[in-house]
Chains A and B, each alone.
Chain A
Amino acid sequence: MDLNLSDEQRLLRESAERFVAGSYDADHRRRMANDPLGFSPAVWKQFAELGWLALPLPEEFGGLGGGAVEIGILMEAFGRGLVSEPYVATVVLGAALIDRCGTNEQKQASLPKVADGSLKLAFAHSERAARFDLAKITTSANKTAQGWRLAGSKIAVLDGHAADEIIVSAHIHDHRGPSGRIGLFLVQATTPGLGISDYPRLGGGRACNIELCDTHLPEDALLGDGSDVLPTIEWAVDRAMAALGAEAVGIMQTLLETTLEYTKIRKQFGRPLSANQVIRHRLADMAMQVDESRSMALRAALKADTPPVERARAASGAKAKIGKCARFVGEQSIQLHGGMGVTEELEVGAYFKRLVAFDTLFGGSAHHYARHAGLGRTTASA
Chain B
Amino acid sequence: MDLTFNAEERAFQSEVRSFIAKNLTEEMKRATALTPSVFSDPDIGMAWQRALHRQGWGAPGWPVEYGGPDWAPAQRWIFETESARAGVPNVNVMGVKMVGPVIIGFGSPEQKNFYLPRILSGEDYWCQGYSEPGSGSDLSSLKTRAVRDGDDYIINGTKIWTTHAHHANRMFALVRTSDGPRQQDGISFILIDMKTPGITTRPILTIGGDHEVNQVFFDDVHVPVANRVGDEDKGWTYGKYLLEFERGSGIASAKLREGLKVIADLAESDLTGRAIDSPDIATRISEVEVDIDALEMTELRVLSALQTGQNPGAVSSILKLRNSEIRQAVTRLGVDVIGHDALAVEPMRPLYKLNHEPATPEEMLTVVPEYLNGRAYTIFGGTSEIQRDIIAKMMLGI
Identify which of B285, B307, B391 contacts A373 (C-beta below 8 A): B285
**Stretch of A53-61, A119-127, A231-239, A284-292 lying at the B interface:** A284-292
Interface residues of B, dominant DSSP: helix
B321 within 8 A of A: yes
On chain B, the residues within 8 Å of A2 by CB distance are 1-2, 304, 307
Q: How large is the interface on A (under 10, 10 to 19, 20 to 34, 35 or more residues)?
A: 35 or more
Stretch from B43-51, B230-238, B291-299, B341-349 that touches the partner: B291-299
| Chain B contacts for A284, CB-based, 8 A | 388-389, 391-392, 395-396
Contacts of A381 in B (CB 8 A): 81, 253-254, 257, 296
Bound-complex Cα distance A293 to B5 (A): 23
B257 touches A260 (CB 8 A): no
Which residue from A296, A366, A373 sits with its C-beta under 8 Å from B294? A296
- A1-38: CB near B (< 8 Å → 1, else 0) gives 11111100100000000000000000000000000000
Residues of A within 8 A of B392 (CB): 280-281, 283-284
Q: Could you tell me if B296 and A1 are in contact, using CB atoms closer than 8 angstroms?
A: no
Contact of A9 among B1, B74, B300, B304 (CB under 8 A): B1
A residues 253-312 touching B (CB-CB < 8 Å): 260, 263-264, 274, 277, 280-281, 283-285, 287-288, 291-293, 295-296, 298-299, 302-303
Asked whether, in the complex, the Cβ of B2 is within 8 Å of the Cβ of A1, the reply is yes
Look across to chain A and name the residue whose beta carbon is closest to the beta carbon of B392: A280
Contacts of B318 on A, CB cut-off 8 Å? 288, 291
Write the nearest CB–CB distance from A128 to chain B, whole angstroms: 24
Cβ contacts under 8 Å, A42 to chain B = none
CB distance A1 to B304 under 8 Å?
A: yes
Cβ B389 vs Cβ A277 within 8 A: yes
Assess whether B9 is in contact with A1, with CB atoms less than 8 Å apart.
yes
A320 is an interface residue with CB less than 8 A from chain B: yes
Q: CB of A171 within 8 A of chain B? A: no
State in angstroms the CA–CA spacing of A291 and B279 once bound together.
29
Judging by beta carbons under 8 Å apart, are A317 and B391 in contact? no
B196, CB-defined interface residue at 8 Å: no
Known: A1-B304, A288-B391. A372 touches B298 (CB 8 A): no
Q: Is the CB of A1 within 8 A of B81?
A: no
Question: Nearest chain B CB to A370's CB is how many angstroms away?
Answer: 6
- In the complex the two chains form, is A1's CB within 8 Å of B293's CB? no
Residue of B nearest to A289 (CB): B294
Shortest Cβ gap from A294 to chain B (Å): 8
Whether, in the assembled complex, B286 has its beta carbon less than 8 Å from a beta carbon of chain A, the answer is yes
- Residues on A with beta carbons closer than 8 Å to the beta carbon of B170: none
Task: Give the docked Cα–Cα distance between A318 and B290 (Å).
Answer: 8
Q: 1/0 per residue A219-241: CB within 8 Å of B?
A: 00000000000000000000000
Q: Which residues does chain B contribute within 8 Å of A80, judged by CB atoms?
A: none
How far does the Cβ of A255 sit from chain B's closest Cβ, in whole Å? 13
Q: Give the docked Cα–Cα distance between A4 and B285 (Å).
A: 30
Q: Is there an interface contact between A302 and B3, defined as CB atoms closer than 8 Å? A: yes
Q: Determine the distance from Cα of A203 to Cα of B297 in the docked complex, in whole angstroms.
A: 29
Determine if A129 is an interface residue (Cβ-Cβ < 8 Å).
no
Answer whether residue B264 sits at the interface, using C-beta atoms and an 8 A cutoff: yes
Q: Mark A328-359, 1 if CB is under 8 A from B, else 0.
A: 00000000000000000000000000000000
The answer for the CA separation of A382 and B78 in the assembled complex, in Å, is 11
Interface: B363 (CB within 8 A): no
* A118-B175 Cα distance, complex, nearest whole Å: 73
With A and B bound together, what is the CA distance between A298 and B293 in angstroms?
11
> Given contacts A295-B297, A299-B297, A317-B290, are A4 and B307 in contact (CB under 8 A)?
yes
**CB nearest to A371 among chain B residues:** B286
When distances are taken between beta carbons in the complex, the residues of chain B under 8 Å from A298 are 1, 297, 301
CB-based contact A288/B322 at 8 Å: yes
Query: Which of A260, A285, A303, A321 makes the CB contact (< 8 A) with B291?
Result: A321
CA distance A171 to B77 in the complex (A): 48
Q: Which of B1, B5, B289, B395 makes the CB contact (< 8 A) with A69?
A: B1
Within 8 A of B (CB), among A357-382: 366, 369-370, 372-374, 377, 379, 381-382
Q: Name B286's contact: one of A285, A288, A292, A373 (CB within 8 Å).
A: A373
Query: In the complex, what distance in Å separates the CA atom of A4 from the CA atom of B286?
Result: 28
Given contacts A4-B307, A382-B296, contact A288 B321 (CB under 8 A): yes
Shortest CB-to-CB span from B265 to chain A, Å, is: 9
> At the interface, yes or no: B6 with Cβ under 8 Å from chain A?
yes
B283 within 8 A of A: yes
Looking at A5, A260, A263, A288, which has the most chain B CB atoms within 10 Å of its CB? A288
With both beta carbons as reference points, the residue of chain A lying nearest to B298 in the complex is identified as A295
Q: Which residues of B contact A296 (CB under 8 A)?
A: 290, 293-294, 297
B287 contacts A292, CB within 8 Å? no
List residues of chain A with CB under 8 Å of any chain B CB. 1-6, 9, 69, 260, 263-264, 274, 277, 280-281, 283-285, 287-288, 291-293, 295-296, 298-299, 302-303, 314, 317-318, 320-321, 366, 369-370, 372-374, 377, 379, 381-382
Please name 22 pairs of A and B residues whose Cβ atoms are closer than 8 Å in the assembled complex, sorted by A: A1-B3, A2-B2, A3-B304, A4-B304, A281-B388, A281-B392, A283-B398, A284-B396, A287-B395, A288-B391, A291-B318, A292-B322, A293-B294, A295-B295, A299-B297, A370-B282, A370-B286, A372-B286, A373-B282, A377-B264, A382-B4, A382-B296
Which residues of B come within 8 Å of A, CB atoms? 1-6, 9, 74, 77, 81, 253-254, 257, 261, 264, 279, 282-283, 285-287, 289-291, 293-298, 300-301, 303-305, 307-308, 315, 318, 321-322, 385, 388-389, 391-393, 395-396, 398
